[in-house]
Structure 1
Amino acid sequence: MSAIEDIRQSLKSELERLDTLISRTLDSSNTLMNQVIGNYLEHKGKQLRPMLVMLTARLFGGVNDDALTAAASVEILHNASLIHDDVVDDSGRRHGHATINAVWDNHVAVLVGDFFVSNALKLATETEDLRVIRAIADLGKLLSLGEMDQIYNARYHELNEEAYFNVISHKTASLFVTCVSMGAYCSGVDDWRLDAIREFAELFGRCFQIKDDIFDYFDSQVIGKPTGNDLREGKVTLPLLHALSNGASPERDEMLSLLREDRVLSDSDIRRLIAFTHENGGVEYAYATMERMRAEAVAILDKFNSPLTSQFISLLDFVIAREK
């Protein structure tokens, strides 16, 4: 049994209650809404985010009803963002399954996503903890800003690591930071431990996104998105950014010119950029960056002096090693 399956097994009771709560929360009086959501929930993801809420609550005492409610809230909001992203990106499949917009249409998908958002907020209010409510509201804002930052960088050619990390802090790491914050709040923790676990979650989220971005530079049917998909959308991520920082490369200026042209990149352009990235150590640099962040994350967890932190490390290792 893998480490992540060990963690899922240890949280089996809580995850079953989570699934029940999510299904009950998203039930409605509309037959079509229930049909669409029922089909969508048949293919739930890895549930990393609610697992982080629960593990944090367990680290600080135990998974109470408020922690479970907060975990459901953040998972529903996360799924709302995925549904809306599929509409924006005109995606037909996600992790091997047809998207709502592909099966139905954009109109239905947007409405379902909005329904998810409102129910995420409703669940947060049921904790009656203003910090949890504020966290879920702030998360929605950060996710939107992260997407807009990414669009801005693509359109105005902000090709530097600082801009890249600002984007992934908003669009990805913010979710994981919110998860551990909620777990801490629901356990009555609001001291140095909250700051420390948030620092861990930021590093966790950055590693998650960097690994996602690495996938763009490899041809794999397992990953669930075509090679070079980010580049087609104008997204220049860490591997290519590092390769472009190599001023000694004779191809650097030509690659920069390709990226700055106001046109859609061709398949040939994509292949050249990917080859350039590999030849100039971009992928290796991205992996090294994750390993550096892992070491920082482990050092943060050492402050807690608890055997429970091993599960956080196992989740982080899963994120770095995963193949999709």
Structure 2
Amino acid sequence: MRRMTDLLRAGKKTKREGVEATEVEEKPATEKAEEAKAPSRFHSALNLIREACSRDEIVPELWRRITAAAEAVLEDVLISPETAMDFILNATIEAESYVHIHMLNLSILSSLIWKELGGGEVATVCAIGMIHDIGIFDLPWDLIHGGPISDPDSRRSIEEHPRHTLRRLEPLKGTIPDEMIKAVYQEHERIDGSGYPEGMGGEEITPLGKIIQVADLFEAITHPRPYREKHMEPFEAMCHIVREVKEGRLDREVVKRFIDLVSMYPVGSFVELSDGRIGKVISATKGAPFRPRVAVEGKTEIIDLMERPDLYIRRQTSTPAL
């Protein structure tokens, strides 16, 4: 069975049945129109992510280019975090694998949370986020794209991918701070020790590792995946993350800052107000996670729910009406 890396080098992907390789299909015109909305720097970063995923190792020369791309992405992200969140939730970009988009989205989310918590070297955090999951490309394509995973052997194989990532990052030791490489390895660990691959817990997990865990979970559960039937709406995802905190699996302070950044109805999500109008959340209100600012009626009216006690969000909706 061929590895995902081999298929990416060939510019191809396999069918779900897993034998014959076919060219990537042309995307519909409507999806191409959506792609045009994504900032060009995000497209450039995605191209580098594709290249990194096709390599057996991340060599220093490639890392320098990834870091430069991360700095460019951050210029857009830090000027307008709201635009970045809108991109994460709504943009459609062509990729050979959902993992490419996941890595870009996680890099943006992790950078925003890291900066909110006062961390330095934000560009390095963004760059390491862009390649945090490259080890998954050591696995067979069909294992990642072939639908629900039920057998224990396949599950164990998937849970080994952080070790594959460490191997690919080996040439960067001494270039990237060890704590950042360790944080990437801890993406799927949990504070209560229930994660993988090593079952680390508590203070064994680095501050950045705790951030990457939250960013990874939010990004993963709000986007389609071939191994589950459906994904969560953003508000549902935020509620799930809060439950994970209450059950001791995610860091409370990290999640609190994440909510401050995006609100319980994350920026970019669509909501129905109590007067029946549909709107799009455009910015969060720190300290008031259920009272964001919402654009309604073709974006001609912006409602700050902190200033409108007569209105509230009735529910999340997946129907854009703007």
TM bucket by the smaller chain?
A: 0.3 to 0.5
* The structure with more helix, counted as a fraction of residues: 1
User: Which is bigger in relative contact order (C-alpha 8 A, separation at least 6)?
Assistant: 1
Question: Normalising to structure 1: TM-score of the pair?
Answer: 0.32
> What TM-score, normalized by structure 2, do the two folds share?
0.33
